[in-house]
Structure 1
Amino acid sequence: MSRSAAVTSMMDVKGVKALEGVQSFLRRDEVFDFIKPVENPLVDTRKNILLYLEGVSVSFDGFKAINDLNLYIEPGELRCIIGPNGAGKTTMMDIITGKTRPDEGEVWLGSNLNLLKMDEADIANAGIGRKFQKPTVFEALSVWENLELAMAGVRSTWGAFRAIMSSSQRDEVKRVLALIGLEKSKNEPAGKLSHGQKQWLEIGMLLMQKPQLLLVDEPVAGMTHQEMDRTAELLLSLAGEQSVVVVEHDMEFVRSIASTVTVLHQGHVLAEGNMDSIQSNPKVREVYLGN
């Protein structure tokens, strides 16, 4: 075969492959790679510790927001973190999620992922989801579309709505809808939901990412008593599937969900134990609960 004929043959092969690629992309029965869930890195929990903070300290303009903090969260555990304003609760979550770098100490997910060597996006992809106090949902989109957009592996709005969901992905959205109690509202715009329902939707959006650890900041602030009870049921149902760390000020709510409570004071663990031992601890009563 002459050189020109060989080149022409190679171009024909490339052209066929390119055409096949375009035709494959245009297929509506195909679940594309960019919507398929991304496998999280292997998290080694053989030592029965999912989240590990030891000797962590950080200062801002001379103020020590976190001071030699040690915290250990087990797989599937539901842990409540309480403490007065300025105790370091938000800074602690910022450190875990990579938003703030400590001056010293160690932070690990399992025994093989050093979170201090990872950026925020990598930490989220590794399996840590964070819910802030104020719910952040796409109010113009339906409840279903919010969950679909949050699905693990989706990286753009265009990509989410161009591709066809598989039956297993649809089943996952339905499962999460049932879990957060919003099946009847699945076609409603998220902006029409109550405050509590928006909180549940955002938790559902995090669950679509299949996290191993959920950080939840003051989930019942501004809720009715009925919404608080439903939120307690939801968080309790999540424990076991993933670890859940809840930062909360409402002691009645904390008592309803907590098996282990950690009290932070001046960036350090002041006390840790069940709710009864925490409420009877004289140091905790002095600095936080009041006499």
Structure 2
Amino acid sequence: MSTLPSKTLDSTREFFRRDQVWPFLAPEQATVNVDNQVILYVEGLNLSFDGFKALNNLNLYVNDGELRCLIGANGAGKTTLMDVITGKTQCDSGTVFFGQNHNLLNKDEAEIAQLGIGRKFQKPTVFEEQTVFDNLELSLKTDKRVLPTLFSRLTPTQIDRIDEVLKTIGLAKHRFMLAGALSHGQKQWLEIGMLLVAEPRLLLIDEPVAGMTAQETERTAELLTSLAGERTVIVVEHDMEFVRSIARTVTVLHQGSVLAEGTMNQIQSNKDVIEVYLGEEAAAGEHA
């Protein structure tokens, strides 16, 4: 009689296994139309805060599978743009489409995340009292309602997925370490891993190397470069050396609009960019 509750619980868990969950409980898999090879369309985006024009008729197109860097001085509109894309902030006018078939301005943050758009903020937000493995498990793209979560078990496929991500982010040997014991750089990688286990199509990464050592910065460059192709990666960063190390296409924002776009060499030789952005950086260096 003493083993009955355990057997009953095991049977119930088996019934609600994540790979056998009832169809009406399973999260829908969204399809993204990228027939034109473009995964993100931002057109005519405007947003004002108390008279300040944070976004000013901004237009941006990002191809499926590319690594795009966004640069610009403080207040250029980089973070505000990411806020609008992820549903955190509503714009005044304009359009934002994920592929050709998903209007992001009609969706909330949870719906946008479910579509396959993941965002990493500058400061790592990991569950420090949980292990690295547990952080990744909690981030799996599964039905988060009480009943499926209570009785679900990890499937072999999901365990393999977590193992794959652990290798990708370089934390396989730290899987059972508490996240709070990781270095700053490792926490940044773990948070990227937490996005990856949810299998996003588009990753928005905000200042990933702030506070990192030179070695961690180099490793982060390798990681982000490896992610592009299978998924699209947009990186916002102030560290110009880091941008140079990963840049394929660079978009420069200034006063809420796109000032210039192209390869890093093209950006570095652009007179407007030199005057507005790189010139400011050089001037700061002279007075340092």
Three-state SS of the structure 2 residue aligned to 1:135 is coil
Q: 97, 105, 108: which is aligned to 1:119?
A: 108
Q: Distance in 2 between matches of 1:231 and 1:77?
A: 17
Is 1:151 aligned to residue 140 of structure 2?
yes
The alignment-based identity, stated in percent, is 59
Q: RMSD across aligned C-alpha pairs, in angstroms? A: 2.0
CA shift digits 1:38-83 (9 cap, x unpaired): 3431110001110000111111111110000000011101000000
Which of 269, 277, 280 is 1:288 aligned to?
277
SS at match of 1:50: strand
Indicate the structure (1 or 2) with the bigger Cα radius of gyration.
Answer: 1
Distance in 2 between the 1:114 and 1:82 partners? Answer: 25
SS of match in other structure, 2:38: coil
- Classify the secondary structure of the residue corresponding to 2:27: coil
Q: CA deviation at 1:101?
A: 1.2
Q: Distance in 2 between matches of 1:104 and 1:226?
A: 43
Is 1:250 the counterpart of 2:239? The answer is yes
CA deviation map 1:212-266 (0-9, x unaligned): 0000000000000000010001001100111000000001100110110000000
Partner SS, residue 181 of structure 1: coil
Residue from 153, 164, 168 that aligns with 2:153: 164
Residue 233 to residue 160, structure 1, CA distance change in 2 (3 Å) = farther
- Equivalence for 1:235: 224
CA distance in 2, matches of 1:157, 1:202: 24
Deviations 1:197-221 (A, max 9, x none): 0000000000111110000000000
Does the 8 Å contact 2:132/2:175 carry over to 1?
yes
CA contact (8 A) 1:79 1:261 kept: yes
The amino acid across from 1:31 in the alignment is R
Cα offsets for 1:138-197 (capped at 9, x unmatched): 001000000001000152699657421111110000000000000000000000000000
Say if 1:218 and 1:37 are closer, same or farther in 2 by CA, change over 3 A: farther
Q: Report if aligned partners of 1:78, 1:236 keep a CA contact under 8 Å in 2.
A: yes
Aligned pair partner of 2:48 in 59, 76, 81: 59
Contact 2:96 2:103 in 1 (8 A): yes
Q: Which residue of 1 aligns with 2:17?
A: 31
Inter-CA distance 117–242: structure 2 relative to 1 (3 Å threshold):
same
CA contact under 8 A between 2:12 and 2:151: conserved in structure 1?
A: no
| Aligned partners of 1:263 and 1:272 also within 8 Å | yes
> CA offset at residue 274 of structure 1?
0.4
Q: 1:176 to 1:126 in 2, by over 3 A?
A: same
The alignment's TM-score, normalised by the length of structure 1, stands at 0.88
Given that 2:16 and 2:148 are in contact with CA atoms closer than 8 Å, whether structure 1 keeps it comes out as: no
Matched, 1:101 2:119: no
1:10 — aligned with what?
none
8 Å contact from structure 1 (residues 149, 157) kept in 2:
no
Unaligned runs of 5+ in 2: 1-7, 283-288
198-207 or 154-163, larger mean C-alpha shift: 154-163
How has the CA–CA distance of structure 1 residues 37 and 258 changed in structure 2, closer, same or farther, with 3 Å as cutoff?
A: farther
Q: Does the aligned pair in 2 maintain the 1:149–1:160 contact within 8 Å? A: no
Give the corresponding residue for 1:279.
268
Compute the displacement of 1:287 (Å).
Answer: 1.1
Unaligned runs of 5+ in 1: 1-21
Distance in 2 of aligned mates of 1:218 and 1:117: 27
Offset at residue 23 of structure 1 (A): 7.2
| Structure 2 letter corresponding to 1:171 | D
Deviations 1:251-290 (Å, cap 9, x if unpaired)? 1100110110000000000000000111111111111111
Query: 1:79–1:258: 8 Å Cα contact kept in structure 2?
Result: yes
1:79–1:245 CA contact under 8 A, matched in 2:
yes
Relative to the length of structure 2, the TM-score reads 0.89
Equivalenced residues, count:
269
Which among 173, 180, 184 is matched to residue 184 of structure 1?
173
Q: Counterpart in 2 of 1:13? A: none
